[in-house]
Amino acid sequence: QSVLTQPPSASGTPGQRVTISCSGGSSNIGSNTVTWYQQFPGTAPKLLMYNYNQRPSGVPDRFSGSKSGTSASLAISGLQSQDEADYYCAAWDDSLSAVIFGGGTKLTVL
Amino acid sequence: EVQLVESGGGLVKPGGSLRLSCAASGLTFSSYSMNWVRQAPGKGLEWVSSISGNRDYTYYAPSVRGRFTISRDDAGNSLSLHLNSLRAEDTALYYCATDGYIYGDGAFDIWGQGTMVTVSS
């Protein structure tokens, strides 16, 4: 069971806005930065968002991140079929002295 | 171009040992923390271990602490993970990843393609 909690699935139609939540605690999201990763089947994960809301070069501005207290969110606007993938949040946990990943959210574009 | 290439995976019996390697190219390897992340078949990502650029710090997931050892050879631009006392639940694709190569500490920004470890009798 992950210390960071994500919904196992999310879905939307092309053009919609979808939000994926990542719920943690004071020892992880509450006190450390959050990163998000995108993974397509059979490929390595790719950094999608760092420092809560910073996009690496090449990531469309349709993707945005935010944090409130001990939770973080990834929002995808103008949903496209190529956004269909698994999404993971991650953060350092001060209590565990370890990096923790959320369980992942499978995004389906209907 | 920065590239990470993992090797050393394979089939091993429970209780056995294995050594994984990650060869890095295109970056000043010694400057960056490095990580191992694994993914069991059909499951999510699990961070395994990290080592700082100066080797002063190593960290391990509770599930592998005491059984796995991370190390690095900066002269050879390589990262290693020694896996001991292997269990069936260690079966996974093991990725190496840079930490903060471009985007700051905590951002796993470059990933290899992974090497598969299967623990089975």
Q: Report the DSSP beta bridge partners of residue B119.
A: B12
Burial of B41 (0-12, 13-18, 19+ CB in 10 A): exposed
pLDDT digits (tens, 9 = 90+) for A60-85: 999 999 999 999 999 999 999 999 99
What is the sign, positive or negative, of the torsion defined by CA atoms of B86, B54, B27, A58? positive
| B contacts of A54 (beta carbons < 8 Å) | 103
Mean pLDDT to the nearest integer, B57-80: 95
CA distance A80 to chain B (A): 23
Q: Which DSSP symbol is given to A6?
A: -
Of A19, A3, A108, nearest to A72 by C-alpha is A19
Contacts of B95 in chain A (CB under 8 A): 44-45
- Among candidates A44, A56, A97 on the partner chain, residue whose Cβ is nearest the Cβ of B103: A56
Query: Do residues A86 and A108 touch, judged by C-beta distance below 8 A?
Result: no
Tell me the CA distances in angstroms from B100 to A39, A85, B7, B96, one per residue in order: 19, 24, 23, 13
Contact A71, A89 (CB under 8 A): no
pLDDT at A87 over 70: yes
> Could you tell me which of B70, B92, B91 has the C-alpha nearest to residue B14?
B91
Identify the bridge partners of residue B4 per DSSP, sorted by sequence position: B24
Contact A99 B47 (CB under 8 A): yes
Task: Supply the DSSP string of B67-109, one letter for each residue.
Answer: TEEEEEETTTTEEEEEE-S--GGG-EEEEEEEESSSS-TT---
Q: In a 3-state reduction of DSSP, which class is residue B31?
A: helix
Residues 6+ apart with CB under 8 A from A91: A4, A24, A28, A29, A32, A33, A34, A35, A72, A99, A100, B106
Q: Is the Cβ pair B46, A101 closer than 8 Å?
A: yes
Counting one residue from chain A and one from chain B, the pairs whose CB atoms sit within 8 A come to 68
Using a pLDDT cut of 70, give the percent of chain B over it.
100
Quick one: which H or E segment has residue A101?
A: strand A98-101
Q: What is the mean pLDDT of chain B?
A: 95
Contact list, B111 vs chain A (CB under 8 Å): 44-46
- Give the model's pLDDT for residue A89: 98
pLDDT in tens, A1-55: 568 999 999 999 999 999 999 999 999 999 999 999 999 999 999 999 999 999 9
Instruction: Kindly tell me if the per-residue pLDDT of B100 is higher than 80.
Output: yes
Is B20 within 8 Å of B80 (Cβ atoms)?
yes
- State whether residue B48 is helix, strand or coil: strand
Residue identified by tokens 């606007």 is A77
pLDDT at residue B28, rounded to an integer: 86
CA distance linking residue B48 with residue B5, whole number of Å: 17
Q: Do B37 and A98 touch (CB under 8 A)?
A: no
pLDDT exceeds cutoff 80 at B82? yes
For residue B101, which residues of chain A lie inside 8 Å, CB to CB? none
